[in-house]
Structure 1
Amino acid sequence: MDDTPQEITSLVGREVYTNNGVFVGEVEDLRLNIDGEAVTGLALGGLNYELFGDQVRGSRGVVVPYRWVRAVGDVILVTDVVERVKEPDEEQEEIVA
């Protein structure tokens, strides 16, 4: 593994996928904690609206907490928690139907 420090701006433009290979979006910006000198979130655009449903329609994007990041390489892998974003709606639809 290469331990050479990388510019955090190298994350911008990378595609983000879940552990299960589902496309989430593309990194457009970063949320930083300046005092702690750490990345705290990834601001994503170009979202997979099928994943997020109507919850983000009309928005410019979403911020994914950096703690969800599992691996950074040519793409960024995040925990599959993000895939569960629309489950409550689906469960509610099942109850109503």
Structure 2
Amino acid sequence: MSQVMDDTPQEITSLVGREVYSNNGVFVGEVEDLRLNVDGEAVTGLALGQLNTELFTDTARGTQGVIVPYRWVRAVGDVILINDVVERVKQPDEEEQEVVA
């Protein structure tokens, strides 16, 4: 459950281009950039592109991306794992219908 955070610049820039998945294994997107708090010297968000269109149909259209808070990051390795909260952003009505059906 601990977040993996490394303050070395080389490690931070190496996050760009990594694929992001929920901790349930659902592809979310790819890191295109980082949001930084320069004063606090910390990464505060991941700017994602190449989004999973099933998760972000209404949120991001065309070439837009999304920024996920870095506090959602669960682990960083070959890929980045984030909390499954991003999956719950997708239309809750659909999920309710699937449970009832």
User: By percentage of residues, which structure has more helix?
Assistant: 1
TM bucket (normalised to shorter chain) is: 0.7 to 0.9
Number of positions where the alignment pairs a residue of Structure 1 with one of Structure 2 = 92
- In structure 1, the residue matched to 2:67 is 63
Give the superposed CA RMSD.
2.3
Structure 1 residues 35 and 16, CA gap change in structure 2 (3 angstroms): same
Q: How far, CA to CA, are the matches of 2:31 and 2:19 in structure 1?
A: 6
TM-score by length of 1: 0.83
TM-score by length of 2: 0.80
Is the 2:7–2:42 contact (alpha carbons within 8 Å) kept by the matching residues of 1?
Answer: no
Query: Structure 1: 5+ residue runs without aligned partners?
Result: none
Query: Structure 2: 5+ residue runs without aligned partners?
Result: 1-5
- In structure 1, the residue matched to 2:3 is none
Quote the offset at 1:5 in angstroms: 4.3
User: Larger relative contact order (C-alpha < 8 A, sep ≥ 6)?
Assistant: 2
